[in-house]
Structure 1
């Protein structure tokens, strides 16, 4: 099992690798400073004691020279009254103690050693007097001839100096500890506010994205580095989203292209099959119809005549289906030419009227398209016939309009319309909404093929009349009258 490192937390990293090294440097500086300050304080306290000794040196020398013991005692007593002084001692040239003020007195051996050292002048030293650590300052006493005839010793407890130095260290290190806590607290608070909170928000944004919220974007807040990190994350998400959209579009385009290719191949195969079947069935059906016609002229029995007429009707229906198969399988080879839309639509309406269907014609503006008139007439007749059959009591309306660079021819009916399930398959071959035996399912497939050959499309929508609307959308050509695209 792998345990997390203590440096895995950014706050601990800041404390361990930033705050602590800084505090260690400050501690070293403080230690050096305390050493220098302690030395300065110790020297100052020694100088104070030396100054006290020098203050009474002259009165004591005069009193010793005059053998004035009262003045000598008073002078020594005045020194002992100073709080910094632990003891004051006066010795003659033989090391005999003449005056002594203090808790403990130096031994004669210590006094003799000091007399030997003052030959070269005053001096100071740390020593132990009867088990007590003191700082002693020694000054020689001279007679009128300049010869040393005594020794003045003034002492101060070593503990006084050590206590003041210790108090200084306590206050210094205590202040340093307080400042360190304040620095650590400031770093922790600053990290929490300036770094940890923005990072937590950034991590939360990453978590939301990883859980599927692909629309979420991180807030670009906090220090510039974190803000740039959030900005980079958002840019990466935007790039991923754009790449996914592009990939989806390309995949959709490939699927559509594959579907169109499949449909094209299917339509080509169906066209070839339909042409072959129609060719093979056309001649036998013609023979059947001809023989039935001749039999009708010879027979007089009413039932036989009725049955022969039904044979001829079914043969005619089969012939119509064969013609549709031939039309479905045969592409237009006619040369496209400019066609007047009004004339084209009126011819189709007239041909349909000859078949007994009535259509309301709503004329639009003049327009010109390019194509094969016979194929476009067939597409219009197929749509109009379907509309009239879906709505035998009417109305069926034929209209056209221009939109931008396109012509839209609308065939509307008030019939029941086409349900949603059939809309996706209505243009496929052999798919029909009519009752069995009433349609071949090739009419709309032929319309779609003709429109595709003319760089157009057929669109199914809801009609204002309540039924279905089939719209033929074809490209317009520039007219010589206006000189612009209609």
Structure 2
């Protein structure tokens, strides 16, 4: 098997030339045989009746040779043109594939206007694949750096405080214990966010789907996040409108919490609205703030992992990515819109529960 794999294979260019030559000679042979048969059937009997004879002369053989050489020349020209339009792009694809295999993800295939449609399509598909591979590689490098950056702060704080306790600089009292637990909670939340995003992107985020009352989750968040939002300077208008979604209650609640935490960290202190509402076939949870707003070109990217509106923004950059992952895992979507007065609308739209009417009646 190894010896067979190492055996050099004939090139495509040579095969094209050989087949074109065979086609040309075969056509010439068919023509000669065909004319011979026709002459034998129709011309020779008439010549014999007139006392004549049909025989090949030297000039006839010379003519056959000349015609054969002309056919071969035409076949060679056609083979060269055809092979240039086929072999050159295929060779370029093979070369680019070897460069990518060696680690050069910037390798691309160049295609000219003379390439055949199927071959040009192959080259374009290869370039699309190469672009995707390069993007994934860049995303992986960026993700690794971002994770390391986000983990560094709480780990550094924990190490410094614990080292201080060991050296007698700090005393292990309730205040220090609370601070250390806060850093541990930060690490735990970061790890959980990474887990949710990774599971969602790989298609392994498991959901326990059942009818969920979004208005009850809004009231739950009012009790949980209300004090923290008031302390941060927000005047929250809670609007728990009746809306039932089909989904995983704890996951949806996690997305709600992430949206409210995003508002607490990034929105301008002042009035905000937190509401649930049924709109058509969607159950919607929405947070409307008073600013500073999100630039239009960032609204479609704001839910990407580690994406921040500004470099100075607080947070891990994973909160909105978790919101998007949970929403899309439910067959819904997460959106960022703007308000006329310069604020932002962050909303989750989920498929409405088919038992909405029954649930509302009870």
TM-score, with structure 1 as normaliser = 0.37
